[in-house]
Amino acid sequence: MKVEGGFQIRNGWWGTGSHEWGSSRGIRQGDPLSPSLFVIVMEALSRLIEKAINADHISHLRYILIWFEATLGLRVNLGKSELVPIGDVPLVEELVDILGCKTSTLPMKYLGLPLGENFKSLAIWNPIVEKMECGLEGWKRFYLSSGGRLTLIKSTLSNLPTYFLSFFPIPATVAKQMEPIQHNFLWGHTEDVFKFHLVKWEQGDWMSSIPNGPYGVGLWKFIRGGWVKFSKFLKFEVGNGTRIQFWDDVWCCKEPLKDMFPDFYCIACVKEATVAEHIQLRDAAVTWEVNFTRLAQNWELESFSSFLDLLYVANIKHTGTDKLCWRPSLAEGFQVKSYYQVLSESRIGDFPWKIIWKSKVPPRVAFFLWTAALGKILTADNLRR
């Protein structure tokens, strides 16, 4: 690996400077490798502090910093350092005098992050929203093609909030505030200039949602909202039956008993009962005891017979804990591939997103093809709608 050189280095030993010499190898400040080397060097300082803690010598923190400087030639600038007490810390002023640093309080900024702030506060996201607004300023849209605007949106979308998102969950209000900034920039809409938004933001994304219905690129964003659909492919394996709802869960057939036998569910005495509460094991024989508020009518006897047949043919182990199983592949367990396949079975045609976005054409041409494939070009018939 070739690294840059040609800069001057001064070595210091116990506060005494030496002469400078030129370097033929090394990394300049600002080089992409600098953060990695910084992490490696800081690991040495962390080990020194950890060793001092284990030896019950944490009071010698100043000596640790001196040894660190003597060993690696890197000096901690105590003049720029700050001591931040958390809670009620006695002798703070004495500690500041010993270390020769400043004192500060929470909340504060550390490495660009709000340290000590309420992570649920919307105010901590204001700098991110402002940077996005500056990056997608209105004047830029007049000098960029649709493909250029698309590239700029994706760069600001992926780079700006990523650092914050690694520490704080983004509030829904902030996410909704960012989306209008992006789609207004994409279609060239400003307060003074009106532009049609040819494709709805929730419909288009960057690939059509038609191939996967509602499961496209928004799967992870709306994973909680997709639980109802996901749970349709789950099934319970009955062990002792204490954690499985008799009427609400899927355990003896492909749907809950309350959906298969709604009339019996309405007259059930205990609708929240578990499987264990309705099953009795007597002399190795299984007996089901399901209580209703009234007796079955003559026209319900056939359905009641089917109801009992399902119960007595159900596979129940009677021991062990209850398990949640993935129905499409019971033997292999849950796989993302199998979930994708069952979701794709009901899709309506294939959207040619690979032909559009993977083709070797300018981005503005791909953007036009994407709009045309969705039937959103401003043709005469679309304008009449």
Please give the tally of structural domains in the chain.
Answer: 4
Give a yes or no: residue 353 inside a domain.
yes
Give a yes or no: residue 78 inside a domain.
yes
**Per-residue pLDDT reduced to its tens digit, 315-364:** 888 788 888 888 777 666 777 888 887 777 655 556 677 788 777 888 88
pLDDT range class, residue 229, cuts 50, 70, 90: confident
Residue 210 has pLDDT above 70, yes or no: no
pLDDT range class, residue 220, cuts 50, 70, 90: very low
In terms of residue numbers, what domain contains 383? 199-211+349-385
Give a yes or no: residue 344 inside a domain.
no
Average pLDDT over residues 134-147: 68
102 and 152 assigned to the same domain = no
130 and 185 assigned to the same domain = yes
What was the pLDDT predicted at 130?
Answer: 81
Give a yes or no: residue 332 inside a domain.
no
Give a yes or no: residue 219 inside a domain.
no
Residue 223 has pLDDT above 70, yes or no: no
What was the pLDDT predicted at 241?
Answer: 85
Per the structure block, which two tokens stand in for 114? Answer: 């709000």
Q: Does residue 89 or residue 198 have the better pLDDT? A: 89
Displacement of CA 373 from its chain's centroid (Å) = 31
Q: Does residue 114 or residue 264 have the better pLDDT? A: 264
Query: Which of 197, 226, 247 lies at the terminal end of a domain, its last residue?
Result: 197
Give a yes or no: residue 114 inside a domain.
no
Average pLDDT over residues 150-167: 70
Average pLDDT over residues 233-246: 86
What was the pLDDT predicted at 159?
Answer: 65
Residue 368 backbone zone (phi > 0: left; psi -120 to 50: alpha; other: beta)? alpha
Query: Which of 321, 337, 371 lies at the terminal end of a domain, its last residue?
Result: 321
**Per-residue pLDDT reduced to its tens digit, 43-99:** 887 887 787 777 766 556 677 777 777 877 777 777 788 888 887 878 888 878 877
What was the pLDDT predicted at 141?
Answer: 62
What was the pLDDT predicted at 1?
Answer: 41
74 and 26 assigned to the same domain = yes
32 and 99 assigned to the same domain = yes
Nearest to 217 by CA among 130, 154, 168: 154
52 and 131 assigned to the same domain = no
The share of the chain scoring above pLDDT 90, in percent, equals 1
The answer to whether 37 touches 27, Cβ cutoff 8 Å, is yes
164 and 96 assigned to the same domain = no
End-to-end CA distance of the chain: 62
Average pLDDT over residues 363-371: 82
CB-based burial label for 330 (10 Å; 0-12, 13-18, 19+): exposed
How many C-beta atoms lie closer than 10 Å to residue 250's C-beta? 21
Q: Using CA atoms, how far apart are residues 339 and 157, in angstroms rounded to an integer?
A: 28
Average pLDDT over residues 196-224: 48
pTM (whole model) above 0.75: no
Nearest to 5 by CA among 27, 20, 30: 27
What was the pLDDT predicted at 348?
Answer: 52
pLDDT range class, residue 219, cuts 50, 70, 90: very low
Per the structure block, which two tokens stand in for 137? Answer: 């300023």
The percent helix, strand, coil of the chain (3-state, each to 5) is 45, 10, 45
Displacement of CA 131 from its chain's centroid (Å) = 22
Residue 231 has pLDDT above 70, yes or no: yes
What was the pLDDT predicted at 209?
Answer: 39
273 and 364 assigned to the same domain = no
Give the lowest-confidence range in 26-35, 187-196, 289-298: 26-35
Give a yes or no: residue 115 inside a domain.
no
pLDDT range class, residue 366, cuts 50, 70, 90: confident
Angle, in degrees to the nearest 10, between helices 146-159 and 363-373: 90
What was the pLDDT predicted at 113?
Answer: 75
Tell whether omega for the bond before 85 is within 30 degrees of 0, i.e. cis: no
267 and 315 assigned to the same domain = yes
355 and 270 assigned to the same domain = no
17 and 77 assigned to the same domain = yes
Give a yes or no: residue 221 inside a domain.
no
**Per-residue pLDDT reduced to its tens digit, 245-284:** 899 888 888 888 998 898 899 999 989 899 888 888 777 7
What was the pLDDT predicted at 204?
Answer: 47
Per the structure block, which two tokens stand in for 82? Answer: 């700050």
The answer to whether 147 touches 366, Cβ cutoff 8 Å, is yes
Nearest to 214 by CA among 199, 198, 230: 230
Query: Which of 165, 197, 229 lies at the terminal end of a domain, its last residue?
Result: 197
Instruction: Tell me phi and psi for residue 250, to 5 degrees.
Output: -95, 110
CA atoms within 13 A on the CB side of 287: 8
138 and 82 assigned to the same domain = no
Helices H / strands E in the chain, number of each: 18, 10
41 and 92 assigned to the same domain = yes
